[in-house]
Amino acid sequence: MKDLHDEIHANVQRALQEDIGSGDLTATLIPEETALAATVVSRENAVLCGMQWFEACFRLLNPATVVKWFAKDGDAVRAGQALCRIQGNARTMLTAERSALNFLQLLSAVATQTRRYADAIAGTRAVIVDTRKTLPGLRVAQKYSVTCGGGVNHRIGLYDGILIKENHIIAAGGIQPALKKAMAIAPPGVFVQIEVESLQELQEALTAGARMVLLDNFALDQLADAVALTRGQAGEAVILEASGNITLDNVRQVAETGVDRISIGSLTKNIQAIDLSMRFAEPG
């Protein structure tokens, strides 16, 4: 994964720049030297994630801001629980508030949804894997959140893994030539994965030497057949990943077919922000 510190700095700089622009007009209502404290509270059960992004929003505007956390990334928090206390200059705290909460709400939502899926398949051999269906500019942040929720990152982008999908297969002239070319060009340590849509295509991929296969939109009985076919020919040497139309309602059944990985695009794509509240203490 890219350097997390640099990514956080870039994310936060962009967020503050788009929000503040030429200046926070409303914050000028507050006397310049006013110091205050505030508390962030979760209004629902969640998995906390995004502490570093949250803090960076305040500290980029005022390095003297102090944030004391009562939980850490990856912790389950409950409705009504205080997450942190912030102390510092009132103007800069008010200016940073919305961007800071946006990061914390979004990233906690990704971690929370991932934890639901990870808990649903606990005790099976499968792991929950993310995809590239992320919000533009926030891929590393969201993939970090997946790990906080108990999931596993797939490739970060197009540069660190080869996933041969249907259109690649068509353009390359078929499964065998696509795999052959991919294996020839893959740098050391870069995986090669191929997507198949039927047991016949799976057999073709195995014959061509596939060692990582994405089973796209397979029914449960087809997944079980795919596992039996693969284990019968290649043992544990081939990694099987299920993908497509998988929800919390059926993910356990998918895991029990014996697949190794289950990729869920909705972890980072269909996200409802966690409800958080930041309230200032009365001065005095």
Residues 131 and 237 in one domain: yes
Residues 12 and 43 in one domain: yes
Residues 140 and 258 in one domain: yes
For 43-68, write each residue's pLDDT tens digit.
999 999 999 999 999 999 999 999 99
What does each of the 284 residues of the chain score in pLDDT, given as a tens digit? 568 999 999 999 999 999 999 999 999 999 999 999 999 999 999 999 999 999 999 999 999 999 999 999 999 999 999 999 999 999 999 999 999 999 999 999 999 999 999 999 999 999 999 999 999 999 999 999 999 999 999 999 999 999 999 999 999 999 999 999 999 999 999 999 999 999 999 999 999 999 999 999 999 999 999 999 999 998 889 999 999 999 999 999 999 999 999 999 999 999 999 999 999 986 54
Residues 16 and 98 in one domain: yes
Residues 82 and 181 in one domain: no
The structure's pTM equals 0.94
Residues 125 and 257 in one domain: yes
What's the number of domains the chain is made of?
Answer: 2
Q: CATH number for the domain including 225?
A: 3.20.20.70
Residues 157 and 254 in one domain: yes
Residues 126 and 257 in one domain: yes
Own/partner contacts of 61-64, CB < 8 Å, gap of 24 or more, are 61/16, 61/92, 61/95, 61/96, 62/88, 62/89, 62/92, 62/93, 64/88, 64/89
Residues 168 and 85 in one domain: no
Structural domain boundaries, residue 87: 4-117+271-280
Q: CATH number for the domain including 98?
A: 3.90.1170.20
As annotated, the active-site residues are 98, 133, 165, 195, 216
% of the chain beyond a pLDDT of 90: 96
